[in-house]
Amino acid sequence: MKQSKKDITLSEKDALQDLLDQEKLLMTYYAGAYTEGSSQAFRKAILKNYTAHAETQFDVFEQMLSRGYYEVQPAAKMMIDQNMEKFEKIKKQIAAN
């Protein structure tokens, strides 16, 4: 039995998750295009689109958060401090080269 479009519906949570995933994927593509772009006009257009999709992605995230579809765990101070230390070391290594 073949299913038609009307037989398949996404829940609100699934639809928002799909939209969030698509926005994240688009941002990945735009980031790649930006780093590979060889003209200022192209890079400017890509950056504009990247920024727009970053805003949309965050809007969808906030909607999911407000509806209880996305749970955010607060980071422990120790974890934040460890990551800060790690990136400071990397920053110093890069500056030394």
Q: How does pLDDT run across 41-85, given as a tens digit for each residue?
A: 999 999 999 999 999 999 999 999 999 998 888 888 888 888 888
Percent of the chain with pLDDT over 90: 61
Lookup: tokens for 67 = 């509806």
pLDDT over 70 at 38, yes or no = yes
